[in-house]
Amino acid sequence: MQIGLLGYGAIGKGIYQTLKDRFQDIYIKKILVRNLNNKDTSFFVTDLEEILNDDDIDTVIIAIDDNKTSYDFATMSLNAKKNVIMTNKSAVANHFSELLKMADSKGVSFKFESVVGSGLPWLSTILEYKNVNEISEVYGTFNGTCNLILDLMKKDGIEFNEALLKTRILCYQEPNYMDDIKGEDSANKLAISIMVALGAYVEPKDIPTYGIETIRNLDFDFFERRELSPKLVSFAKLTNGRLSMLVAPFLFKQGTLMANVSGNNKILGFKGDIVGEVQFIGEAAGVYPTANSVMLDVLDIKNNRCSKIVMPNEVIVDQTAIKHKFYFSFDQTSSKIERILIPYVHSIFETQDSVVITTRNIDFDTCIDLLEKIEMTGERFFFAVYAD
């Protein structure tokens, strides 16, 4: 089996190295790079056509950060009847159906195991289990940077910006770290999981998404006293064919599993009607876990064992099916905000530097509406969902 590799950054190099170390009968024939810089031109190329026109190459692995380039190269490769393995989650999330349809029509495979929970057998297990189960729910702490920031704030008692800086130094961050902390990375991964597991078509932009960028250490004071631990969670559930979905900080009771998944680990879970609940935990990020998932895609293609991915269907989004208590914190009392929240208030806690308002049980829909109104006041606030 001969492969064309597009991109030779950290991920590309990890894929190349792993393939070389572990397989004799699978190898990379050509690598597409932007600049040759004296590289061996019999192996490195700068023109994609050299790979697409090479009949020995049946599979293309795309290890490119840029979303648009990733997507463009995917369509070109599929059109050239190459199997495509992608590592760029935004490109997969935003062009899922189109790329899947293109692959189907060309009779090739479109694989992307590494894009959610890389290293963990997340999408592959879901696809296998769908042969036996109706899957009704997917969730997880999909973003490692957010896990780590929240962990650092909790353990070291530091503020958000300091924790953010520390995670950047620790190199856990993707180049575009604002996508991480604003929840966009989590929304991309949730969209892919929804389409694969629940068979429902969604675009990442349609998922209500709230990040952790406004959390303060004062919030942790409140959480600690109540033995709560915040995690940025992606959540989606089908109830009678209607879809609820949300990316937001959730508050978990200390002593629960979700509260105790530490630092650079992620937890991903799904529910099937036969198997019940299945959870995966692992670092789920980094060069070699990604390479591991890409290798599994390569082997599936080589052994002709790719699980069928069903084209996702349009479904009705209904955010009223799930009810939770919610947490809002502000810098100061504001009559505007009180007017918005007062019909839903459970408790109000005021200190010198913050006001915390918790609500009674309300549905996602109502909460999203409240959030829009609060955003319009221009006040800084942090928002979280009580997990139960």
Measured from the CB atom, the residue of 18 and 319 that comes closer to its own copies is: 18
Q: Nearest distance from residue 93's CB to its own copies, in Å?
A: 23
Helix (H, G, I), strand (E, B) or coil at 15: helix
Bridge partner list, 6: 32, 62
Cβ–Cβ < 8 Å for 151, 304: no
Binding of its own copies by 196 (CB under 8 A): no
Annotate 122-133 with b (16+ C-beta within 10 A) or e (fewer).
bbbbbbebbeeb
Q: Both tokens of residue 226? A: 């109540």
Residue 292 identity:
N
Residue selected from 255, 316, 335, 352 as contacting its own copies according to rule CB under 8 A: 255
Measured from the CB atom, the residue of 77 and 87 that comes closer to its own copies is: 87
Element (H, E) at 381: strand 381-386
* Number of residues binding to its own copies, judged by CB under 8 A: 42
Binding of its own copies by 24 (CB under 8 A): no
CA angle 53, 54, 55 (to 5 degrees): 105
- Choose the binding region for its own copies from 83-91, 142-150, 298-306, 342-350 (rule: CB under 8 A): 298-306
HSE of 69 in the Cβ direction (CA atoms, 13 Å)? 12
Residue 112 identity:
F
Site residues (CB under 8 A) for its own copies, limited to 81-120: 119-120
Binding of its own copies by 171 (CB under 8 A): no
The runs of H, that is alpha helices, within 139-206 are 144-156, 160-169, 177-181, 184-193
Residue selected from 52, 84, 108, 295 as contacting its own copies according to rule CB under 8 A: 295
Rounded to whole angstroms, the Cα distance separating 365 from 323 reads: 9
Residue selected from 20, 22, 68, 101 as contacting its own copies according to rule CB under 8 A: 22
Q: What would the x/- binding string for its own copies be over residues 120 to 159, using CB under 8 A?
A: xx--xx--xx-xxx--------------------------
Residues in the site for its own copies, rule: CB under 8 A?
A: 18, 22, 119-121, 124-125, 128-129, 131-133, 254-257, 259-262, 265, 272, 274-283, 286, 288-289, 291-292, 295-296, 299, 303, 305
